[in-house]
Each structure stands twice: as structure tokens, then as C-alpha cells.
Structure 1
Amino acid sequence: MTAKHVTIDVYGLVQGVGFRYMTFTYAQKYGIVGSVANQSDGSVHIEAQGPTEQLMAFMEVIKRGPSQFAHVNHIEVKEQPLDQYSKFSIQ
């Protein structure tokens, strides 16, 4: 199975609405490693690495957000070289 590593920057109402916890939960579900962190501009930055099919499913969840309180305006995805992540963490 081919693995990919992407960075995902999520913009909209995505801080203070459970977005990082939701991201962590779905990373565990789909076997994604990396991290998620709030940014000072109000966005959320995600480092995500895993099998391509699971990564695509994970990104579909990210596009929707965790609840009626979150609102994702758009995401920016950039492919990166594979890294040595061993788990997924909230920063």
C-alpha cells in the first residue's frame, strides 16, 4: 500500500469547536500519523501521513469539521516527503 504525507491547513471557524480532538479521533480511526495544531491566524495546521486511501477518507472528514459550531471555509493541501511519525498528536 502506498503511503503519502500531506500538510493540511484548515481555514474558517475551526478553533474552540473541538476540531483538533475530532482530527485526532479520525486519525486514530484511519491509521494516520502526524499532528494537529492551532495557528495564531485562527487556522488549524495538520501534518498527516498514511496509506493513500485512508488519507483521502480522513481529508473528507476534515472538510466537514466536527459539529454545527465549526465552519470550514476552505482547506489547502500540499504533498510532502514521507516523514518518521510514529503516532498522531495534538499540539
Structure 2
Amino acid sequence: MVADQLNIKGIVKNQSDGSVYIEAQGDPQAVHSFAKKIIASPAPSGRVSNYNIADNKIKNYTSFNVVY
């Protein structure tokens, strides 16, 4: 998993409108690389048509998990 390779911690969740919500924390360069890899992800694993990146309060995640 890309998050594990880059030592990214956080969550990913599919939203009811078909979008995906991600909270990612780690080294700033690693988070930037993580975002670039997600944006470049080829179909069928996903197509990014719009994204928003925001700085938020750190939640001290210990791993990267899928939230249902």
C-alpha cells in the first residue's frame, strides 16, 4: 500500500456521493508524494477529477486504515 511505503498515517473513507475522503499525516514531503500518487492513479482503481488539500489539527494516527 502506498501509505505504508511512505509511512503515512490516517484514514480513507468512501462517501455516499461516490467521493473519497482521506486524512493523511506524516512527513510533509511524504504526504505530498502520497497525494501525487493518488491523483495519478489510473482507472479502474480510481480517477481523480477534483481534490482539496487542507492543513488540519494532527490526530496522531498510528496506522493508515479504511473506515467503513
Question: Normalising to structure 2: TM-score of the pair?
Answer: 0.88
Runs of 4+ in structure 1 off by over 3 angstroms are none
> Which whole-Å CA distance do the structure 2 matches of 1:86 and 1:51 have between them?
14
| 2:28 is equivalent to residue 43 of structure 1 | no
Gaps of 5+ in 2: none
Code of the residue aligned with 1:53 in structure 2: it is Q
Gaps of 5+ in 1: 1-24
Displacement of 1:49 after TM fit? 0.3
Question: Per-residue displacement from partner, 1:6-62 (whole Å, max 9, x unpaired)?
Answer: xxxxxxxxxxxxxxxxxxx11001000001010001000001000011111001001
1:76 equivalent in structure 2: 52
> Which whole-Å CA distance do the structure 2 matches of 1:28 and 1:90 have between them?
13
> Which whole-Å CA distance do the structure 2 matches of 1:41 and 1:48 have between them?
21
Q: Percentage identity across aligned positions?
A: 32
More strand by share: 1
Displacement of 1:68 after TM fit? 2.9
- Counting matched residue pairs gives 66
| 2:19 is equivalent to residue 53 of structure 1 | no
Question: Normalising to structure 1: TM-score of the pair?
Answer: 0.68
**Match among 63, 79, 83 for residue 39 of structure 2:** 63
